[in-house]
């Protein structure tokens, strides 16, 4: 038979664990709402065109379509690391387009990675003017970083499209969004994990909370029967 102190301690532990699990479940539901709003925003904006000047005047221009022309910065192409497509590891080729407002980061598409990580795909020079059409998206910034990694111009690989980092690499001002090309072909969406996944995780957290209380009730009843 458990003492009153131990019974109270187990009850308190059960309460704390339940509170943590409920908090995680509520957080997952809030993330599901955020993802749902992002998808709705994307569906509403993806076919609406803006000029670059209009995009810069907006606080949140993500999702809108942009047509722009210009010349890529010579020698500025680099690869964004850790990009998976159809289960394969690869990179996204990033090029800076010169505009009168600063450099526009252009995501030109996915490239497969060589088994030898020291080898990057060849970058063909593109010095002639280009006419581009794509959608504005948020810069890709991983949630967890292992610290600042020094950029090697001879191995132009980055793990983030953080604006300040790119400005240091290219030596010019960088616009606060990315022009993503080919979203129709890739069936791209602005979220990796859809809202339904977050709802599923929330249900799991709430179910575990009920399971803990069920186990606690069974344990206390058993202790009372033995007493």
Q: What is the largest CA-CA distance in the chain?
A: 87
Instruction: Answer whether residue 78 shows pLDDT above 80.
Output: yes
Beta strand residue intervals within 73-170, DSSP E: 78-85, 88-99, 102-112, 130-137, 157-158
Q: Are 68 and 180 in contact (CB under 8 A)?
A: no
Q: What are 80-124's pLDDT values in tens digits?
A: 998 888 888 999 999 999 999 999 999 999 999 988 888 998 888
Predicted TM-score of the model (pTM): 0.74
Query: Exposed, middle or buried by CB within 10 Å (0-12, 13-18, 19+), for 124?
Result: exposed
pLDDT at 1: 47
Q: Which residue has the higher pLDDT, 25 or 223?
A: 25
Rounded Cα distance between 201 and 207, Å, is 10
Phi-psi region of 215 (alpha: psi -120 to 50; beta: other; left: phi over 0): alpha
Instruction: Answer whether residue 25 shows pLDDT above 60.
Output: yes
Query: Residue 175 carries which DSSP code?
Result: E
H helix or E strand, kind and range, residue 71: strand 65-72
Question: Of 28, 142, 128, whose CA–CA distance to 80 is shortest?
Answer: 142
Q: Name the pLDDT band for 7 (thresholds 50, 70, 90).
A: low
Could you state, in order of their start, the residue ranges of all structural domains in the chain?
A: 4-37+194-226, 64-186
In degrees rounded to 5, what are phi and psi of residue 3? -70, 165
């Amino acid at each position: 038979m458990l003492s009153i102190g131990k019974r109270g301690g187990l009850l308190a532990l059960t309460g704390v664990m339940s509170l943590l699990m409920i908090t995680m479940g509520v957080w997952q539901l809030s993330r599901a709402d955020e993802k749902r709003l992002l998808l709705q925003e994307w569906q509403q904006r993806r076919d609406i065109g803006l000029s670059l000047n209009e995009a810069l005047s907006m606080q949140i221009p993500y999702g809108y379509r942009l047509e722009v022309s210009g010349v890529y910065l010579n020698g500025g192409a680099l690869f964004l690391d850790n990009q998976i497509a159809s289960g394969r590891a690869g990179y996204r080729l990033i090029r800076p387009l010169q505009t009168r407002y600063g450099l526009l980061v252009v995501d030109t598409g996915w490239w497969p990675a060589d088994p030898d990580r020291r080898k990057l795909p060849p970058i063909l020079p593109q010095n002639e003017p280009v006419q581009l059409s794509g959608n504005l998206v948020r810069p890709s910034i991983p949630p967890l970083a292992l610290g600042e990694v020094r950029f090697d111009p001879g191995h132009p690989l980055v793990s983030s499209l953080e604006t300040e980092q790119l400005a240091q690499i290219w030596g010019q001002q960088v616009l606060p969004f990315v022009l993503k090309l080919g979203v129709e072909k890739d069936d791209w969406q602005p979220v990796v994990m859809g809202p339904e996944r977050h709802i599923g995780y929330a249900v799991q957290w709430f179910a575990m909370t009920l399971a803990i209380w069920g186990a606690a009730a069974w344990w206390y009843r058993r202790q009372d029967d033995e007493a």
